[in-house]
Chain A
Amino acid sequence: MSATTTPILETTGVWTLPYRGTVAMACLIIAESSIFTIFVVAYLFYIGKSLSGPTPREVLETPIFYTICLLSSSLTIHLAGKLLERGKRIAFLSLWLLTIVLGGLFMYGTGQEWHRLIYEHGLTISTNLFGTTYYSLVGLHAFHVTVGLVMLCIVLIFGLAGRVGAEQSRRVDVLSMYWHFVDAVWVVVFTVVYIVGR
């Protein structure tokens, strides 16, 4: 059998397939959504089932300002991506930096809230069911924000070194998909923890 490597040639038109980075990130987002779903279900299931205090109503304060920070960072990263596509690198970098600052502010807010809960109200992950589910869900989200921030910082460092141009635009868009996802998850976590859960 001397079958050759080229089966029948056919004059097809342009053969285009989706970008693998986008597909992979979409898959990762599906997988992550599934993880978050389980944590959200656990949170909802355990609302009001704690046998001892403190309860969410007593100790939680709605973090409106930090939520606005995180949600608006979705807008800045989107605009940054658009600017990069058009080759405006300085404008891209400044909006990128702004995104990091907004994300950092959000993390500061979470840290402050946890500090207050732990030191003022004595609520830790082992205090009661509320503590267990709250720190797990919010912590899982905060972990994802942290990972996102690290990745954003890596892009920033490469950008400052002059290595990020319009030709990297597709890759930057993949990272920005992740960041949008982290923001979208916060909308769910916020609803569950600060609205439904109280």
Chain B
Amino acid sequence: MSSDVMAIQSADVAGRSWTGVLHEWVTTVDHKRLGILYILYALIFLVIGGIEAAVIRIQLMRPNNDFVSPQVFNRMFTMHGTTMIFFVTMPVLFGFANYLVPLMIGARDMAFPRLNAFSFWLTALGGFLLYFSFVGGSGLYGAGNAPDVGWWAYAPLASRAFSPGHSSDYWTIALLVSGFGSIGTAINIIATVLCMRCPGMKLSRMPLLAWLNLVMSGMVLIAITPLSAAQIMLLVDRYLGGHFFDTQAGGSAPLWMHFFWIFGHPEVYILVIPAFAFLSEIIPVFSRKPIFGYPVMVAATVAIGLVSTSVWAHHMFTIGMNSYANGFFAITTMAVGIPTGIKIFNWIGTMWGGKIQFKVPMLFCIGFLFQFLIAGLTGIMQAAVPFDWQLTLSYFVVAHFHYVIVGGILFALFGAFYYWYPKMTGRMLSERLGKWHFWLFLIGFHLTFDVMHVPGLLGMPRRIYTYEPRPGWGILNLIVSIGALIQAIAILVFVANLIISYFKGAKAGNDPWDAWTLEWSISSPPPAYNFATVPTVASRRPLWDLKHPEDPDSRYD
């Protein structure tokens, strides 16, 4: 039956002109196509953001370098940060959520397909606006073009007086627009998970990926919106002469910091929870065991979601809060480590005693476990206020959060690419290239971000465009830059793998990994309607039940 579907689809495509195909993709409201659009969009920005990182690393490769001017350097780190958070990680995670959540819960599509398309195009417009600033940012003032105020745009740096021209406006509006897109997608995911599940798919039987994306979406609702509100205030200040962050009229600069980090810290968890979701699907399949401690995993995720909304001011220990505030935020920050630790133990518990298959998706997940643990530990170090006073705004902090985002989130994402690419395209990614990708990236990552802690400890501030030759600084920065080069090569291997395997990869079939969730029950790529008949499930592993009628999970459910 599924092969008939494939035949019909390919016959359809062959008969169409490329404009027809393009029109279909631009006007699509299908969750699978929108998911792929999100992912492709994010991959393009990953390359752009990566080039910006490369410029930064070349500039810092040796002391007193003059590869770029200080002004260009400021633009590069601002654009790198903004791009990587808002136009790479967010869209790629939304892309996977879009693609997978309806398939995993046995639904035909998202709850609101047109809202879904609208959200994607808002996000796309946001990215376009941000990069249009390179062309249109200078406005009438002849001032610098791209945003150069840092990705958190502290007041009063982002005010008219210190950021003339329109570059900051492009930054503000890009984030506002893509923020509305994110809110739309979050609403859509929540409505899909709560209202579109197939019969028998109780919340307690839902794949963890659906659960974790539900929690993530809930966090988007309460964490992205403060940023939108703050952006509106910034626009009022810049365009209507308001005084929200204007210290000369009694306004407060720390208020912007609070509003930004009320968004900024939960944002980290918005990004990492879907990464947890990938691990929770991939590790069981390659350990040949069901996930260990399912209810505890859900509870820990919800706990992370709740606690992470009250940790934001640990980014602001140096602004002179009183000791009660410092103490509160230090304790909550350390407390987040507890549910996160529970999750790490549960993944290890899943692997414990399992028949582990070291396929590429699993390799990336194992890399995640080690690296995310280290990232968490340096996080707890910085939750200690006196330690943070010493190291805030140094390269130690940069190393820490890149450890989270690259060593954690990006590794999990690569795992997800290798795991679900066969479902999305019908072709397997090459294991050989995949292993090259993994090992090269692992070596490059550790060269860059392990070593980067050291200049931080030596006192190298972040966001400086160059430095004096001091003992150790030059060689350490050179090693960091070499690591970045190796990572860039690994990314090229990955992109090559994506392209080559699309045309030459082995046929995947419905279920290449012998997995247990519903998306593997249908053809690869899935037909437009997903499920020919609405599936009914009786346990957490519907495909296990199907493959092992003699010993189904539903017996113990």
Give residues in A with beta carbon < 8 Å to B.
1-10, 12, 15, 17-20, 23-24, 27-28, 30-32, 34-35, 37-39, 42, 45-46, 49-51, 125-126, 128-129, 132-133, 136, 140
Contacts and interface: CB of A to CB of B under 8 A. Distances in A.
| Listed residue (B187, B222, B554) with the most chain A CB atoms within 10 angstroms of its CB | B187
B541 to A, nearest CB: 10
Given A31-B222, A128-B243, A129-B250, A7 B521 contact: yes
B510 A7 contact: no
A5 B196 contact: no
B181 to A, nearest CB: 13
18 contacts: A2-B2, A4-B546, A5-B522, A5-B535, A6-B535, A8-B538, A8-B554, A10-B554, A17-B196, A20-B196, A23-B191, A24-B191, A27-B187, A38-B226, A42-B233, A42-B244, A128-B249, A136-B244
Contact of A3 (B236, B243, B259, B510): B510
A18 B259 CA distance: 34
B289 to A, nearest CB: 20
A27 B552 CA distance: 37
A5 B522 CA distance: 6
Interface in B328-375: none
B135 interface: no
Contact of B187 (A31, A50, A125, A126): A31
A28 B111 CA distance: 14
Contacts of A133: 244
Interface of B: 1-2, 111-112, 183, 186-188, 190-192, 194-197, 199-200, 217-218, 221-226, 228-230, 232-233, 236-237, 240-244, 249-252, 255, 259, 262, 509-511, 518, 520-522, 531-533, 535-538, 542-543, 545-547, 549, 552, 554
A5 B112 contact: no
B199 A15 contact: yes
Nearest to B106: A7
A126 B111 CA distance: 43
Contact of A31 (B111, B221, B510, B521): B221
Contacts of A24: 111-112, 187-188, 190-191
A8 B194 contact: no
B233 A136 contact: yes
B538 A10 contact: yes
Contact of A27 (B2, B190, B200): B190
Contacts of B252: 45-46
Given A20-B195, A129-B243, A7 B536 contact: yes
Nearest to B186: A27
A7 B518 contact: yes
Contacts of A46: 250-252
Contact of A6 (B192, B229, B533, B538): B533
Nearest to B115: A24
A132 B238 CA distance: 12
Contacts of B532: 5
Contacts of B510: 1-3
A112 B552 CA distance: 70
B250 A49 contact: yes
A38 B522 CA distance: 46
A35 B255 contact: no
Given A5-B531, A7-B536, A39 B545 contact: no
B309 to A, nearest CB: 10
Contact of A10 (B188, B509, B531, B536): B536
Contacts of B549: 8
Given A5-B531, A132-B236, A30 B222 contact: yes
A9 B195 contact: no
Contacts of B183: 28, 31
| Listed residue (A1, A6, A7) with the most chain B CB atoms within 10 angstroms of its CB | A7
Contacts of B224: 31
A31 to B, nearest CB: 4
A114 to B, nearest CB: 14
Contacts of B546: 3-4, 7-8
A155 B230 CA distance: 33
Given A5-B521, A19-B195, A34 B536 contact: no
A6 B533 CA distance: 7
A24 B187 CA distance: 6
A33 B85 CA distance: 24
Given A31-B183, A35-B225, A8 B233 contact: no
Nearest to A139: B236
Given A18-B195, A27-B186, A34-B221, A8 B536 contact: yes
A12 B522 CA distance: 23
Counting from the closest, the 3 A-B pairs by CB-CB distance are A126-B241, A38-B229, A34-B225
A39 B242 CA distance: 14
Contact of B243 (A12, A30, A45, A126): A126
